[in-house]
Structure 1
Amino acid sequence: MRIPLIAGNWKMNGSLALIEDFGNAFSRTSFLSNAIDIAVIPPFLYLANADEAFEGTPVQIGAQTLYGEASGAFTGAVSASMLKEFGVHYVLVGHSERRTLFKEDDAAILAQARAAIDEGIVPILCVGETLEERDENRFDDVVLGQLDAVMKGLSEEQRRQLVVAYEPVWAIGTGRTATPEQAQEVHASLRARLRHYDENLADNMRLLYGGSMKPANAQELLSQADIDGGLIGGASLKPDDFIAICHAAG
């Protein structure tokens, strides 16, 4: 059985005060530890504070990116071993904003995934197509291609460490909305592609939905057969909203 994962990506948002608010909110909230996994993914600067604030709660911390090398003259970069020292359990790789704004390509994303796995950190591989790519019916080329680029570069054992998150970039800030049925269709396609590698892997890999999940739509999205959790953006900055989504998953 796949345990749902709700991961909140703060992007370049947050503050020490927000970390404290979340810590207090989760300390007052009880979850069955084996019913749901929860992660908060703040900017690098707040990782130590988050680790301390979430102590004694079921919340694990994640990082928003990493560099694919272990160490060296890479000014501004952060390695997997550094993240590990701060208690990081998850790390995003291939987020659409990293692909577009920071020009990270498939080779860089594969290196990041390998580096994370080597340190025992779970990579959350983000895949998704733009509005233009969707309108051109290029889902197979783009989204499944992004998945294959990493899967083909990993060993059978390494693949088992992955979580995959589908981000419908075409439905973010465009005025178009992905329905639960559309989200499920893509997740089913992703799981079908995973079966090309390993039946057991396909049955057990968690697939998250990253398209503006919020309290109002979380239950319907999470009830879909192949959606195993959410990568939450805006709602992850509001403790009450984020906890409501966690409750919907648990």
Structure 2
Amino acid sequence: MTTEPAPASFAALHHRPGEPLLLPNAWDHASAAALAARGFPAIATSSLAVAAAVGLPDGRGATREHTLRLARTLGSEPYLLSVDAEDGFSDDPDEVAALAGRLWAAGAVGINLEDGLQPAARHAAKIAAVKAAVPGLFVNARTDTYWLGDGDETDTLHRLDAYRQAGADGVFVPGLTDPGRIGTLIRHLDAPLNVLYSPTGPTVPRLAALGVRRVSLGSLLYRRALGAALDAMADITAGRTPGGTTPSYDEVCAPGEGRA
């Protein structure tokens, strides 16, 4: 397995005090290309979007090959790619490491691995296996203590410390929106903290002031796109002109050639 370091620029994007990496999540080539064209240097994938696009459930380990296929589609593009790989689609650390190697070969420079509240030692073993097999891949270790659990701070810190000790480059706590608790975590961490943006939570400038180093959008953009499609149909049905931004046919086709 390659031992080359990941592009330093991706890791460096997590170490800019006061300027967190705002990471939009795409679901296909068109969405990723459009976001990159707006100046975002790094793009992530969304497990919900990958699953929903093919009619499969999210978080059930059903989209391994679809995730790899999307990584191969996006990995050769000029932006930096991080892949949401659920829990690695396996409980076997060696299998997760093999997947990470395939993602790296496809051009990904980062991987997001979630614990789903499984035992911390099991998730740490996956992280250690990935870092041993693909040292250059930026591992963002996610704990679901706030997403699926009751947000116990002691358990959260225990898990994040275990993942960091296993080699995680960054840690992710989706569902954490309270500024006080965010600040407490940051004071106890020695790794970049990633949080999931919430329209009802702190703004990006507020998160930056707290010391957050990465802000992910998760499935928000995909769900907003679906909502925009429904709103447009409601307007058309009612005889109104749809509002919002509508890229032109030529703009969507810019990266290649398309047909109506």
Give the TM-score taking structure 1 as reference length. Answer: 0.59
Task: Report the residue type matching 1:123 in the other structure.
Answer: V
CA distance in structure 2 between the partners assigned to 1:131 and 1:94 by the alignment: 11
Residue equivalent to 1:197 = none
Larger-Rg structure: 2
User: Sequence identity of aligned pairs in percent?
Assistant: 16
Residue equivalent to 1:62 = 83
The 8 Å contact of residues 24 and 44 in structure 2, kept in 1 or not, is answered as yes
CA distance in structure 2 between the partners assigned to 1:30 and 1:116 by the alignment: 30
After TM superposition, give the deviation of residue 114 of structure 1 in Å.
1.0
Residue equivalent to 1:191 = 186
Paired residue secondary structure (1:224): helix
CA distance in structure 2 between the partners assigned to 1:132 and 1:56 by the alignment: 37
After TM superposition, give the deviation of residue 133 of structure 1 in Å.
3.1
In structure 1, list runs of 5 or more residues that go unmatched. 11-17, 170-177, 195-201, 242-250
Residue equivalent to 2:194 = 208
Task: Report the residue type matching 1:229 in the other structure.
Answer: R
Residue equivalent to 1:198 = none
Residues 239/143 of structure 1: CA separation in 2 closer, same or farther (3 Å cut)? same
The 8 Å contact of residues 71 and 108 in structure 2, kept in 1 or not, is answered as no
Residues 220/26 of structure 1: CA separation in 2 closer, same or farther (3 Å cut)? closer
Residues 92/214 of structure 1: CA separation in 2 closer, same or farther (3 Å cut)? same
Residue equivalent to 2:255 = none
CA distance in structure 1 between the partners assigned to 2:142 and 2:192 by the alignment: 12
CA distance in structure 2 between the partners assigned to 1:55 and 1:228 by the alignment: 26
After TM superposition, give the deviation of residue 25 of structure 1 in Å.
0.9
After TM superposition, give the deviation of residue 131 of structure 1 in Å.
8.2
CA distance in structure 2 between the partners assigned to 1:85 and 1:54 by the alignment: 9
Larger relative contact order, structure 1 or 2 (CA cutoff 8 Å, min sep 6): 1
The 8 Å contact of residues 164 and 208 in structure 1, kept in 2 or not, is answered as yes
CA distance in structure 1 between the partners assigned to 2:149 and 2:38 by the alignment: 42
| 2:106 alignment partner, one of 86, 89, 108 | 86
Number of matched pairs? 188
After TM superposition, give the deviation of residue 110 of structure 1 in Å.
0.3
In structure 2, list runs of 5 or more residues that go unmatched. 1-14, 51-63, 227-260
Deviations 1:145-183 (A, max 9, x none): 2112323x43xxx3xx511112237xxxxxxxx4xxx2x
Task: Report the residue type matching 1:87 in the other structure.
Answer: G
Give the TM-score taking structure 2 as reference length. Answer: 0.57
Residues 9/235 of structure 1: CA separation in 2 closer, same or farther (3 Å cut)? same
RMSD: 3.6
Q: Which stretch shows the higher mean deviation, 219-228 or 111-120?
A: 219-228
After TM superposition, give the deviation of residue 115 of structure 1 in Å.
1.9
What are the equivalent positions in structure 2 for 1:70-219 lying under 5 Å apart? 70-71=94-95, 79-95=99-115, 98-99=116-117, 104-118=118-132, 119=134, 120-127=136-143, 128-129=145-146, 133-134=150-151, 138-139=152-153, 141-151=154-164, 153-154=165-166, 158=167, 162-168=169-175, 178=177, 182=178, 184-194=179-189, 202=190, 205-210=191-196, 212-214=197-199, 218-219=203-204
| 1:233 alignment partner, one of 214, 218, 228 | 218
